[in-house]
Amino acid sequence: MASFDRRAALRLIAPLLWVAACQGGASCNRDGADQASTAAEQEVSGDMGDGIYEVIPRGPFHLDEDLKVDAREPAPATPKAPTVVLAVLDTVRADHTSLCGYSRKTTAYLEALKERGAVYSCRAYTPGDWSLPTHASYFTGVSVARHGAHYAHDAKDENGERIRSLYVYPLREDVRTLAEEMRDRGYQTVLVSDNGLLGEAGLQRGFSVVATRPRKHDPRADWVPPTLLRVLAEEVDPSKPLFLVLNYLQAHDPWVAPDLSLDWDLLDPQMAPADFKSGFRRFLRAGLKPGDERLLRRQLTDLYDYGVYREDQALQRSLSTLERAGWLRAGFRIGITADHGEMLMEHGMWRHLFVYEGNTRVPFLYWTDGDSPSLPEPFPAIAVHSLLRDGRLPDPMPAVASVAIPNPDAGRRKGPGSMPAVAMWFGDEKLVWIGGTYMRIDLVEDPDELAPKPLGNHPKRSELEALVAAIEAGKDRRGEVDPALVEQLRALGYVE
């Protein structure tokens, strides 16, 4: 892992802010970039986020009451139609999967599925930058602008006072979900999710069975595989076709300290819970020496990679249960992807926000006993909706695009992470709109996105402008949210 110099990273962000200032009519000399860098350093603690990562030490764990009961094996399945599964590896970025060439064996099961014939892409992009908008697009097959499930835009009165108390907009009522469509085809529709947010905000529409992880669940115990076994045994008719959505959350903090038996050259995980958290606080205050920052980043990477590994293992247990019970004998269509990645201190950012590659580029696999299409690259992960529903890619293919709408309650944040942003990918070129500024990035020449250039009169500019206009039009949406949803957002660290 390369070393991370925080101040150097801030200086590298300065060209992006400098371009924004120039196009906004400000001075465009080199001093402007220096001033942008200074301003970024002054505001970095807010841009890094408000909460601190939680780490759970290894050791004995407490099982939830429903997991203490040994579920009987489900009855042999005899459906007359293919089993359809969407598996979401929450918070998994492509470049930290061994499927996509990562040095650590984080996703051995994904690699095994590739060997069994699954088609895959390591350049799939999520439609949103966090769980709600991306899952809503996967469930509906439409863009974030169309389904409207995302952070609420901020609103102020004529005196500049905030007048909206919303955290998010729920899924629009006039957009049908894949669960509703599959239900109408005679399928049983089942959701088993580590992420409690999937049971809220309209994402639960159309599911006959909704099982989401209890908020007080001990993250050291995997929840989805045993819960799936219980649901198949107790709540599913083995003679009827099955549409199943699975979500795994181990790569999302709170993380479990990694297993030393892995051949990963890990740091001592027992030091992580206390020392890691205090170190991160010092990092936010620019109080760490470069050597300590490198240690902190290595700890962060160890924790994150172990979470990715655990999700891959949990997915294997779940799909093995389906195979063992006979759910794949009549055919199957299985889509596996992520809802977003995770910023691991690149660009001075952490957690999942914004449209940088670390947060939007995810793995994608499609495994079926039928015809497997060739996946173009870059690939719009939203196409999983059509693959699962129809067994083929959508025609026409949707744009490869991602949208980031910031949380308006994170008022202290400054810099790119506090601005609305839209990105579109065309081959190796990435076009970006950030808070009113249009830019382009050549991902071959600039894979770390350190030197964006003005977009100018680009031939694809009109497509980006159309997507921006659609997102901006959503600012006037009204409505209230269930208090339970706010609690789910708070539990996941999305709001204070």
Distance CA 200, CA 237 (A): 25
pLDDT at 158: 61
Domain harbouring 369, CATH code: 3.40.720.10
- What count of Cα atoms within 13 Å lies in the side-chain half-sphere of residue 446? 16
3-class SS string, 270-335: HHHHHHHHHHHHHHHCCCCCHHHHHHHHHHHHHHHHHHHHHHHHHHHHHHHHHHHCCCCCCCEEEE
Residue 388 phi/psi, 5-degree rounding, is -75, -40
Long-range contact pairs involving 31-40 (C-beta distance under 8 Å, separation at least 24): 37/10, 37/11, 37/13, 39/414, 40/10, 40/13, 40/14, 40/348, 40/414, 40/415
pLDDT at 472: 77
Q: Is the pLDDT of residue 138 over 90?
A: yes
Q: Is the pLDDT of residue 191 over 60?
A: yes
| Highest-scoring range by mean pLDDT, 152-161, 292-301, 318-327 | 318-327
- What count of Cα atoms within 13 Å lies in the side-chain half-sphere of residue 314? 30
pLDDT tens-digit series, residues 407-441: 665 555 555 666 788 999 999 999 999 888 999 99
Look at residue 239 and tell me if it is in a domain.
yes
Over range 50-59, report the average pLDDT. 61
Give CA separation, 258 vs 250, 253, 267, 311, 348, in Å: 11, 13, 9, 13, 24
Distance CA 212, CA 206 (A): 15
**Total domains present in the chain:** 1
The pTM of this model reads 0.84
Distance CA 426, CA 145 (A): 20
Look at residue 260 and tell me if it is in a domain.
yes
pLDDT at 263: 84
pLDDT at 296: 80
Find the range with the poorest average confidence among 143-147, 249-253, 360-364. 143-147
Distance CA 241, CA 244 (A): 10
Distance CA 296, CA 294 (A): 5
| Closest to 8 (Cα-Cα) out of 450, 351, 419, 439 | 450
The amino acid sitting at 80 is: K
Structure tokens, 440: 């382009």
Over range 9-30, report the average pLDDT. 38
Q: Is the pLDDT of residue 29 over 70?
A: no
Residue 338 phi/psi, 5-degree rounding, is -125, 160
Look at residue 74 and tell me if it is in a domain.
yes
Look at residue 136 and tell me if it is in a domain.
yes
Give CA separation, 423 vs 68, 130, 238, in Å: 46, 14, 43
Look at residue 118 and tell me if it is in a domain.
yes
Q: Is the pLDDT of residue 165 over 50?
A: no
Q: Please list, in sequence order, all residues whose beta carbon lies within 8 angstroms of the beta carbon of residue 385, skipping any fewer than 6 positions away.
A: 137, 138, 139, 140, 141, 178, 394
Q: Is the pLDDT of residue 6 over 70?
A: no
Percent of the chain with pLDDT over 70: 72
What number of helices (H) and strands (E) belong to the chain?
14, 19
Which domain range does residue 243 map to? 54-399
Look at residue 428 and tell me if it is in a domain.
no
Structure tokens, 59: 């050791």
User: Quick one: the chain helix, strand, coil %, rounded to 5?
Assistant: 40, 15, 45
Distance CA 122, CA 415 (A): 29
Q: Is the pLDDT of residue 50 over 90?
A: no
Helix (H) or strand (E) holding 226: helix 224-234
pLDDT at 318: 97
Q: Is the pLDDT of residue 16 over 80?
A: no
Q: Is the pLDDT of residue 8 over 60?
A: no
| Highest-scoring range by mean pLDDT, 151-165, 398-412, 428-442 | 428-442
Q: What is the DSSP string of 415-469?
A: SGGGS-EEEEEETTEEEEEETTEEEEEETTT-TT----EE--S-TTHHHHHHHHH
Distance CA 356, CA 352 (A): 10
Structure tokens, 5: 């110099």
Higher pLDDT: 22 or 255? It is 255
Look at residue 328 and tell me if it is in a domain.
yes
Q: CB count, 10 Å around CB of 465?
A: 15
Q: Where residue 155 falls among pLDDT bands split at 50, 70, 90? A: low
Q: Is the pLDDT of residue 401 over 60?
A: yes
Q: Where residue 442 falls among pLDDT bands split at 50, 70, 90? A: very high
Look at residue 34 and tell me if it is in a domain.
no
